[in-house]
């Protein structure tokens, strides 16, 4: 099966791709293009998948860099190719040939670029990172490299949709305590449950950070098993583990 990537109209001038699970060598519950070294998948399979991604995006696997994601608002600036994965949830760079790769399985993969300035960014934005400012921090780090926030285009890739994202009252209360206006990202669910609109919240945070263009390309990771891994779907099924999708951008 051939590798499948989804693209964002706003990033047409920059090489990028939101990779689905199609086209990889992993098997069983990881079937497809699992790029998560933090999973329990066979390491050679993950390495082969990552090599395929690098080739597809037009760079070497050594130039496909990532971070040790931990649901933070931390951003690192990539100044050279490295095998090390610093603890952070976003990266920025202005180096040609470097590919920034973010892993997700329901959280938002966010790719950003100021094509004129030659500055790109990639962020992993789950609810916690988004609430704590990972997207605005990414925009700030891009600006430090010469980007102009009004010229930045940002695209949110496949992530869990509101229909599939049920949360409890404590979750809702944390958001509303931060800003009462955040109530608009929730819909009533069953009993005391609420349905949270993660991509709409991500778009709000990007626009609040002053980017010129922000879009969600659509696609719910929970609903489309053929294309996407999903942490929440795995949890509901009580499966042992899950694969990770990769989203990549490079100059």
Interval 122-133: pLDDT, tens: 999 999 999 999
Q: Break the chain into its structural domains and give their ranges.
A: 5-161+197-250
Q: H or E segment at 214? A: strand 213-216
Given this model, what pLDDT does residue 130 score?
97
Interval 72-102: pLDDT, tens: 999 999 998 877 889 999 999 999 999 999 9
CA distances to 145, 155, 180, 250 from 114, in Å: 10, 12, 32, 12
Interval 210-248: pLDDT, tens: 999 999 999 999 999 999 999 999 999 999 999 999 999
Angle at 75 between CA 43 and CA 72, to 5 degrees: 75
The SS3 call for residue 155 is strand
pTM over 0.85: yes
Given this model, what pLDDT does residue 81 score?
80
Interval 56-72: pLDDT, tens: 999 999 999 999 999 99
Interval 134-180: pLDDT, tens: 999 999 999 999 999 999 999 999 999 999 999 999 999 999 999 99
Does the domain at 5-161+197-250 match CATH 3.40.50.920? Answer given as no
Given this model, what pLDDT does residue 82 score?
78
């Amino acid at each position: 099966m051939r590798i499948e990537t989804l693209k964002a109209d706003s990033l047409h001038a920059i090489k990028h791709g939101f990779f689905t699970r199609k086209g990889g060598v992993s098997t069983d519950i990881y079937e497809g293009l699992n790029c998560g070294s933090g999973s329990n998948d066979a390491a050679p399979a993950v390495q082969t998948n990552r090599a395929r991604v690098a080739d597809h995006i037009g760079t070497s696997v050594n130039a496909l860099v990532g971070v040790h994601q931990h649901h933070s608002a931390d951003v690192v600036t990539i100044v050279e190719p490295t095998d090390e994965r610093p603890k952070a949830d976003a990266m920025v760079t202005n180096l040609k040939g470097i590919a920034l790769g973010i892993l997700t399985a329901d959280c938002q993969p966010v790719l950003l670029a100021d094509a004129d300035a030659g500055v790109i960014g990639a962020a992993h934005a789950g609810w916690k990172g988004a609430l704590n400012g990972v997207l605005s921090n990414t925009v700030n780090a891009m600006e430090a490299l010469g980007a102009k926030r009004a010229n930045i285009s940002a695209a949110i890739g496949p992530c869990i949709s509101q229909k599939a994202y049920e949360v409890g009252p404590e979750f809702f209360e944390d958001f509303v305590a931060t800003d009462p206006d955040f109530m608009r990202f929730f819909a009533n669910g069953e009993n005391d449950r609420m349905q949270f609109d993660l991509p709409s919240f991500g778009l709000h945070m990007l626009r609040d950070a002053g980017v010129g263009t922000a879009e969600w390309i659509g696609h719910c990771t929970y609903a489309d098993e053929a294309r996407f891994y999903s942490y929440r779907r795995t949890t509901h099924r009580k499966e042992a583990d899950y694969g990770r999708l990769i989203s990549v951008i490079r100059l």
